[in-house]
Chains A and B, each alone.
Chain A
Amino acid sequence: MSRGGFWSVALAVGWRNAHNFFTNPAMAIPALMFPLFFFTAFAGGLSRVDSVPGFDFDGGYTTFVYGFVLLQASAFGGIFTGFSIARDFESGFSRRLMLAASRRGGIVAGYWLAALVRAVFTVSVITVVALIAGLTIDGSAVDLVGLYTLAILVNAVAMLFGSGVAMRLRTMQAGPAMQTPAFLFLFLAPVWVPYDLLTGWVQAAASVNPVTLVLEAGRGLLSGDPTEVLPAFAVVLLLAAVTVLWAYGGLRSAERVA
C-alpha cells in the first residue's frame, strides 16, 4: 500500500479525525449530549403522548423516540464531521493533505470512516441509556441489522453532504449551511407522534420528506413490524448516490484552490 494511495490516505485521515474526536471534549461532548438531551427530554417529558387517541405504535413511547434519536445521532455524526473538514481547511491542514495524497478520494473516505466511528460511539451510548430507560426491541436480529445498516447509510449521506459544503466553502462559518438543512429534514418528519397525528403544514412537509420514510421503516424494524423497508433503503441509497456526486464536486472545487 503506497503512502499516497487511496486506503493509506483514508486510514490516516480516519485515524486522525477519530483521535481528535475522542481526545477533544469540546467535540465529543456536544455530539453526545444533544441526542441524549433529545432522548431524555422527549422520552421522559412526553411519555404520556402514547395515551393520545390514535397513537398506534406498539413498542411504547421510549422505543418510538429512540427510533428518531438513532437517526438524529447518525445524521449529526456525519454533519459534525463536515465541521471537522471545514476546520482542517481553516487551519491549512487540508491544503497540505491535498499535496501529499495522490488519490484524493481517499481523503473523503477517511472522513467517512471518522464519521462512522463517531456515530457508532454516540449510538452505542444512546442505546445503553435507552435500554436502561426502558427501550423494548421486538425486532429480530435481521430487523436490527437492517435498522443499523439504515443508520450507517444515513450517517454516510449526512457526512457526504457536509463534506461537499465544507470543501466548497472551506470555513467554519459554513456550519449553519450544513446544520440547518439536516435539522429541517429531521424535524419536518413524524418526530414525536406518528404521521397520522401530525397536523397543519408539518404534516404536509412530512408527506414529501424522505426522512419520514426512513424514520417509519426504522421504527417498524425496532418493533418487529417492518414496513416500507425497501422504499426506505431505496431512498437512502439514492440520496447516497446524489451526495457522492456532491462531495466529489466539493473535492474538485477544493483541489482547484489547493
Chain B
Amino acid sequence: MLARRSVVRTLRQPLMVVPSLVFPLLLLSINSSGLESTTMLPGFPTDSYFEFALAIAFVQGALFSANSAGTNVANDIESGFLNRLSLTPLRRVALMMGQLSGILALGLIQAVTFVLVGVAFGAGIEAGLLGAVVIVAMSLTISLAFGCIGAFVALRSGSGEAVQGVFPLFFAALFLSSMALPRDLIEIDWFQTVATYNPVSYMLEGIRSLVITGWDGEALALGFACAGGVALIALAAASSALRTRMVRT
C-alpha cells in the first residue's frame, strides 16, 4: 500500500519527474558539445565526449531522486501522515522501502530514458544489451542510495526546507568527482585526491566502463560497492532516524 502510494504520488507530480529528466539531458547536451575538444587530450579513453558524459546524467538524475524522496518524507511528517503510520505495526525497514518505492520508479524511468537517448544519439554501449541492463541496475542502486540520504535528512529535520538546503551538498559531491575528466587526467593534486576518495567517482566510472570499455570487473565491483554501501549506510541511518521520530510521536 505504502509503495503504491509512493509511486503514484511521485509520478503524478510533473515538477518531480520532468526536471529530473530534462536537466540531466540538457546538461549532457551542453557538456558534450562544449567539452568535445578534451577528447584530444592524450590518454582520454574515448573519442566522443558524449559517451564519456553520459554517465553523469544517471548520477544527476539520482540527485534529483534524493531531493524528491526527502521532500516526500518531509511532507508526510509535516502533514502528520507519519504520526498516523506510527500507530500501525509496520516494520521500519518496510516502511522506509515503501516510502522509497516512488523514487525507484522514477529512477527506472530516468535510467531507461537516459540509455535510450544515449543510444539514439550515437553512444554505442560497448557491453551490449546486457550491459544496458546492468547500467539500469546500477542507476537504480545509486537512486536508492541518494534517496535514502534524502529520507534521512527529512526524518532528522522534519522539514522540507532542510532537504532543499542539503541539495547543494549533493551537487558538490558530483562536482568534486571524476565527472568532467578521468581521474588520471586531473592535473590538480588536491582535486584528484578528493575525487579518488569520493564514492561518486566510482559510481560514474562503473556506468562509464559499460559504455566505453565493455565488461570491466573492477570498475563494476567498485561502482556497485560504493552505490550499495552508501545505500545500506543511508538506509540504516534513515531507519534509525525513523525510530527516533516515532518514539517522539
Task: With both chains docked as a complex, state the minimum distance between the C-beta of B234 and any C-beta of chain A, in angstroms.
Answer: 22
Instruction: List B contacts of A207 (CB < 8 A).
Output: none
In angstroms, how far is the closest chain A Cβ from the Cβ of B182?
10
Q: Is A231 an interface residue (CB 8 A)?
A: no
Most buried by B among A29, A38, A45, A54: A45
Main secondary structure of the interface of A (DSSP, over half): helix
With A45-B195, A46-B180, A47-B187 as given contacts, are A200 and B165 in contact (CB-CB < 8 Å)? Answer: no
B197 within 8 A of A: no
Query: Counting CB contacts under 8 A, is A22 at the interface?
Result: no
Measured CB to CB, the closest approach of chain A to B46, in angstroms, equals 15
How far, in angstroms, from A187 to B38 measured CA to CA in the complex? 17
Q: Known contacts A26-B161, A26-B165, A37-B168; decide if A45 and B37 are in contact (CB<8 Å).
A: no
Q: Flag if B38 contacts A52 (CB, 8 Å).
A: yes
The size bracket of the interface on A is: 35 or more
**Interface SS, B side:** helix
Interface string of B23-45 (1 = CB under 8 A from A): 00000011011111110110000
A41 CA to B181 CA, complexed, in Å: 11
Shortest Cβ gap from A189 to chain B (Å):
9
Q: How far is the CA of A244 from the CA of B38 in the complex (A)?
A: 40
Q: Which of A108-116, A122-130, A191-199, A234-242 contacts B (4 or more CB under 8 A)?
A: A191-199
Tell yes or no: B247 within 8 A of A by CB.
Answer: no
B33-A34 in contact (CB<8A) = no
Please measure, in the bound complex, the distance between the C-alpha atom of A42 and the C-alpha atom of B35, giving whole angstroms.
11
Residue of B34, B41, B179, B188 touching A192 (CB-CB under 8 A): B34
**Interchain CA distance A53-B161 in the complex, whole Å:** 46
**B81 within 8 Å of A (CB atoms):** no
B21 CB, min distance to chain A CBs, angstroms: 15
Give a binary string over A35-59; 1 marks a CB under 8 Å from any B CB, 0 the rest. 0011011111111110111110000
| Number of interface residues, chain B, beta carbon within 8 A | 29
When distances are taken between beta carbons in the complex, the residues of chain A under 8 Å from B32 are 200
Chain A residue numbers with a CB within 8 Å of B171 are 37
Asked if A34 and B186 make an inter-chain contact with CB atoms under 8 angstroms apart, the answer reads no
User: B185 near A: Cβ within 8 Å?
Assistant: yes
- Least CB distance, B157 to chain A, in whole angstroms: 13
Q: Given A34-B168, A46-B181, A188-B30, is A52 in contact with B190 using a C-beta cutoff of 8 Å? A: no
Chain B interface (Cβ within 8 Å of chain A)? 29-30, 32-38, 40-41, 161, 165, 168, 171-172, 175-176, 178-181, 185-188, 190-191, 195
Beyond contacts A44-B188, A52-B37, A54-B37: 4 other A-B pairs, Cβ-Cβ < 8 A, are A26-B161, A29-B165, A44-B186, A192-B34
- A selection of 20 A-B contacts at a CB cut-off of 8 Å is A33-B172, A37-B175, A40-B176, A40-B191, A41-B179, A45-B178, A45-B181, A45-B186, A46-B35, A47-B191, A48-B38, A48-B185, A49-B41, A51-B41, A52-B38, A52-B41, A192-B34, A193-B35, A201-B29, A203-B33
